[in-house]
Amino acid sequence: MKNDNFSENSQFSESKKVIISILFGLSGFTGSYFSFHYMVEDFSVTIVWSFLFPLLITQAYGWKYGLLAGTLGLGAAHCFLLWPNNGYANIVNFINITLWFVFHGFMAQIRAKKQSFWNNPLVAYFYFALFYAVFTRLLFPVAFSFNPPPIWFKEVQLSIPVDILNRIILKSVITMFLALIFAVTLFKMNGVKKIFGLKPGKESKYNGRIVLASISGGLVIWYVYIILNCILIDFNFPAGLFIIHKPHQIIALLVFISSASFIGYFLSNYMETLLLTQSQLITKSAVLETQLESANSGILAVSNEQEILIANKKFYEIWNIPEELWNTKDDAIILNFGLSQLRNPGEFVNKVNYLYSNKDEISNDEFTFSDGRVFHRYSAPLIDKNKRHLGRIWFFTDMTQNIRMQQIIIQSEKMQTVGNLASGMAHEINNPLGAILQGAQNTLRRLSPDNEANIQTAQECGTEIGIINKYLEERNIIKYLEGIRTSAIRASNIVANLLNFTKTSDYKFQHDDINLILQNALNVVMNDRELKEKYNSSEIEIIKDFNDSLPMININSNEIEQVFINIIKNSVQSFAKSGTEIKKIIQLRTETLDDSITIIIEDNGCGMEENIKYKAFEPFYTTRTVGTGTGLGLSTAYFIINKNHNGSIELHSEPGKGTKVVMHLPV
């Protein structure tokens, strides 16, 4: 616990602290004139209660201000006022008391940094008491030997008996200790701290009442002692209750008050520690509660008796637990409710039972909900600092998005590899393919009956071009040549698509309207004659939800339109396998999300199986019959969106429910 009673924490200026220090020193000096004097046998005892004024300064501001209070404030000069006949010995006493103030202030500064048993003011006093006893025992006789001083009180002592000196040392040590008890006890009170411009601590709010109650209790006990003394010993009851002057009565008062102050000091220390600990626990609890509720994982702690100790809101949300069950402590109820949502509940509950049976086991695994969400499950024993096993803690972290991102990264790397391979293959295939196509076209052209050069050459060879053509047609040679030409053209188109698939477009980017491009793509698809005849596209209901406040976006409009056309075509074609009983719907939506524009194309067609969805972006992968699709539509869209426009494209699909393609383009 850090000491907040220190100079740097005072609201007062340096000059004000200097003035207060000097005034409190003067108060100590003046107050010493009213010290308690009483006789024990033939020995005079003086209790200098006013020591506490400079001591308060040292505790509030540190050793420098304690030095000011003791010297300029004369707080350590009481000996010159009370015992002028000591002569030079008073200088020794003055130095001793000044050093005491400095020492106590120095220890206060150390406590301000870090408190410990050894720098406690009452414990540390014994270090100084030892120094004081040795210092006084050695120098007092020497100082007396120089008496009398030339300009001093003439009736001074020229020596001091050893037994008297020893009793003076003992009396001073006790007196200083009592003053210190009062000073540190008073400083526990917030009202006293305010005098020195110190901010009271929250943990010391009860100290004033504790100290006052302790001192009041000491006074009550002391007065009970006075009453009993009057009745049983002095036999002067009730008159003796109002005449308190005997040494044993004064000593009893000092004993009871100092004891009460001592008790008040330690009680207030205990209460400060208790309140500080309570405050720290409340703070830690609030921090832990905040961390618990702000965690991305669902957290559940269960006792050895399988009673829920704590669970955050995220946990209940992950498992879709209704709010009426949030207060239940029975882990079995929550477990049974959650099992119905899992793809493999048997495997899940077996692992739970195994971990509850093997208390020291640590587990990391994954499980899947019926809705496709994938979660990482971490479980470890709940053990306190004394190695006691309290139960088990569970963490449930949603890995669905991470897995999707991993799949996207893998897909991107795969697409990049395939793209590089496709580019090389396309260039290698293009040359022989060109020769095949050119040869087929030239052959058909030189067999054409309409070409004059062909007619003349046939006549020169003693035949007619018509006879040659008739032979070729009868033998299906013309048909074969047409097939070669058509296949070569188709192969050439595929090669062209491959090259377009892998290269960055040469078109310049410009700011354009996504809504307009999406509408144009829709018009192209819905007016496609082939789609109308094969897939009855005119029967499909189109639902448009365009955000009219979308900003213009810097894109290659031709490429983006091609992406939209490919995806809308796929949606139209998906209804071929979905049956005729459903109402065919394609939804087009645009919206803004953070610093991007989101385009969503969704249908309620046949959907895709998980293994098909995973391969959908791969080049040449198609579920259509041979010759009806190249398998480059979605892969081209992937490259255009991700590579050329630094966006992203996601595919969500369930068999029998439809497919949703979500595209994000940066603004």
Percentage of the chain with pLDDT > 70?
85
Burial class (CB within 10 angstroms; exposed 0-12, middle 13-18, buried 19+) of 432: exposed
Q: What is the pLDDT of residue 546?
A: 92
Burial class (CB within 10 angstroms; exposed 0-12, middle 13-18, buried 19+) of 21: buried
Mean pLDDT of 73-99: 88
Does pLDDT of 130 surpass 90? yes
| CA–CA distance, 162 with 141 (Å, rounded to integer) | 9
Does pLDDT of 6 surpass 70? no
Angle, nearest 10°, between helix axes 465-474 and 452-460? Answer: 100
pLDDT in tens, 293-323: 888 899 999 998 889 888 888 999 899 989 8
Which one-letter amino acid corresponds to residue 87?
Answer: G
Three-state SS for 560?
A: helix
Q: What is the pLDDT of residue 243?
A: 67
Q: What is the pLDDT of residue 627?
A: 42
Does pLDDT of 571 surpass 90? no
| CA–CA distance, 136 with 44 (Å, rounded to integer) | 19
Residue 149 to residues 89, 258, 325, 508, Cα–Cα distance (Å)? 10, 38, 92, 107
Q: What is the pLDDT of residue 192?
A: 86
- The model's pTM is 0.48
pLDDT in tens, 198-242: 887 766 777 777 777 887 877 787 777 777 777 777 666 666 666
> Given the structure tokens 């400083």, which residue do they identify?
187
pLDDT in tens, 43-77: 566 778 788 899 999 988 989 999 999 898 888 88
